[in-house]
Structure 1
Amino acid sequence: MVDVEIVQVGPDEWREFREVRLASLADAPGAFGARHADWVEATEDRWRQRLTDVPCTFLARSDAGTVGVVSGALSEDGVELISMWVAPSHRGTGLTGRLVARVVAWAGALGRDTHLMVRDDNPAAIRAYEKAGFTDLGVPEGWPDDAPLERRMRHAGS
């Protein structure tokens, strides 16, 4: 396995978070609710606020730089796993599972379930989440006809 350190970050690490978040939005524009153009010119205050509003963010660091990110946002029904991304150079190394496990553990320490939404047309992500212990609950009822289909998944241990 590639030597990667996973660390939880906050507002003071906004520059490193900015770098990896912009890389993720450029690499996989259809996978996120945000767009690269929405964030590329964001101010320091906006980046810091994102890391304050979303209380759980982990970065994966290697000799190659920051190669992964995942966040956990508090929601009415638990913790929503969001902003999951691993650099192409580190896909297939188990890093996705390690990052996901950190958010699931964080949610568990709060006594909360973990859930996520994933694009229906991203079978690789769906498989990775299933491997990490999530159950596919399908597309929620009443999903808008004009929106790309997304599947809701819930962590089996939650």
Structure 2
Amino acid sequence: MINLRALTSEDWAAWRDVRLRALADAPHAFGSTLEEWETASEERWRARLGLPGSHNLVAYVDGEPVGMATGAPFEGTYEVISMWVAPEVRGHGVGDALLEEILRWAREQGASELRLDVKENNLSAISLYVRHGFIDVGPSRELGERAMMKRV
């Protein structure tokens, strides 16, 4: 069974643990690096969870953290800014659960669309997003990434 937990800045240590695991496992998938975050202060971790209007999730299976996702508003646009699923549970619905919760949250916030950027070579992530109705809308702001969007 997959359990999702929304985090606040008080949960910074739980977020730190899963985020560092994500950065170590899939450095190619993120704009941030493990080196940038592994020595980050508690204050920096709390600030990351305290992004205005953000919705930060950790997915648990059998009590173990196995995924994370963040949705946040930026300049009037709602975006998925971070998502990861542990290799041992990929293909078991964790990514689907995280993405569905971010979509639910975006609708609840009154968003008309949800956007994300994804590395062009991250085919499993692209497949997940397409399965959930996201469409490729062209190159993103970052070299080697595609922008994807879904009306919510």
TM-score (structure 1 length as normaliser):
0.89
Query: In the alignment, is the contact (CA less than 8 A) between 1:9 and 1:57 conserved in 2?
Result: yes
> Shift of residue 13 of structure 1?
0.8
Distance 2:121 2:2 in 1: 29
Say which SS state the counterpart of residue 66 (structure 1) adopts: strand
Say which SS state the counterpart of residue 96 (structure 2) adopts: helix
Distance 2:78 2:5 in 1: 19
Which letter does structure 2 place at the counterpart of 1:82?
I
Please show how residues 118-157 of structure 1 align to structure 2 within 5 Å: 118-140=118-140, 148-155=143-150, 157=151
Which letter does structure 2 place at the counterpart of 1:6?
L
Distance 1:16 1:124 in 2: 25
2:114 is equivalent to residue 114 of structure 1: yes
Which letter does structure 2 place at the counterpart of 1:78?
T
Which letter does structure 2 place at the counterpart of 1:61?
Y
> Shift of residue 63 of structure 1?
2.1
After the TM superposition, which parts of structure 1 deviate over 3 Å for at least 4 consecutive aligned residues?
none
Which letter does structure 2 place at the counterpart of 1:83?
S
> Shift of residue 77 of structure 1?
4.2
Provide the aligned length of Structure 1 versus Structure 2.
Answer: 150
Say which SS state the counterpart of residue 17 (structure 1) adopts: helix
Unaligned runs of 5+ in 2: none
Which letter does structure 2 place at the counterpart of 1:24?
A
Say which SS state the counterpart of residue 50 (structure 2) adopts: helix
TM-score (structure 2 length as normaliser):
0.93
| Structure 1 residue aligned with 2:88 | 89
CA deviation profile, 1:68-119 (whole Å, cap 9, x unmatched): 0000121124211021000001100111111011111111111112100001
Kindly report the root-mean-square deviation, in angstroms, between the aligned alpha carbons of the 2 structures: 1.4
Which range moved further: 62-71 or 87-96? 62-71
Distance 2:21 2:133 in 1: 26
Please show how residues 8-157 of structure 1 align to structure 2 within 5 Å: 8-53=6-51, 55-63=54-62, 65-112=64-111, 113-140=113-140, 148-155=143-150, 157=151
Say which SS state the counterpart of residue 68 (structure 1) adopts: strand
| Structure 1 residue aligned with 2:2 | 4
